[in-house]
Amino acid sequence: MNGTRHELELEPRELLVYVLRDRLRLTGTNVGCDTSSCGACTVLVDGAAVKSCTVLGVQAEGEEITTIEGLARDGELHPVQQAFHDRHALQCGFCTPGMVMATVSLIEHGEATGEEAIRIGLEGNLCRCTGYHNIVAAVQDAASAMGRAS
Ligand code: FES
Ligand code: FES
C-alpha cells in the first residue's frame, strides 16, 4: 500500500474501499455510490485503475495498491495533481481523488490521446459539480508533462 507492506486479517466480505478507509485510515479514497457507478473510490491495483468498491479486500492480497495519498513524492505533487490544481479542475473535490487516479492510469497506459479519448477513458468517473471541461484540459496538460501526449 503506497510502498508500505501491511498485514491485515480481513473478513471475506470486506470491500477494499472500506479496508482503505476504515482499517488503514486512508480516507482520501471516497465512497460516492457503493455500486460501481461513480468512480469516487478509484485506486490503482498494480497500475490499473480499479473501483475499490467492486473489489474484496482479500482479492488485493499481494498486490501493489496506490491511493491518492501515495502519489506525491518528496513534497512535490504528481503531475496529474499539479495539472488539476493549475486548471482549477475541481470544485467540491469529492470526485477528485478518483478522477486523479483514473487519469494516472489513463496516461500511463497511453490512452490519453486526445479530448475524445480522455472523455471516453474517464466516463466511469462522475463529477457531480460537472466540471468536465477543466478536467479534460488538466488531463491533456498532465499527459504533456508526463511526455505521454499524442
Ligand atoms: Fe465505488 Fe462509486 S463508490 S464506484
Ligand atoms: Fe465536485 Fe467533482 S468537483 S463532484
Could you tell me if residue 1 is inside a domain?
Answer: no
Closest atom of ligand 2 relative to the 129 alpha carbon: 1
Query: What tens digit of pLDDT does each residue of 41-86 get?
Result: 999 999 999 999 999 999 999 999 999 999 999 999 999 999 999 9
Mean of per-residue pLDDT scores for the chain: 96
Could you tell me if residue 117 is inside a domain?
Answer: yes
pLDDT band at 34 (very low <50, low <70, confident <90, very high): confident
Residue 85's domain comprises: 79-145
The CB of 132 under 6 Å from ligand 2? The reply is no
Could you tell me if residue 102 is inside a domain?
Answer: yes
5: left (phi over 0), alpha (psi -120 to 50) or beta: beta
Closest atom of ligand 1 relative to the 34 alpha carbon: 3
CATH number at residue 34: 3.10.20.30
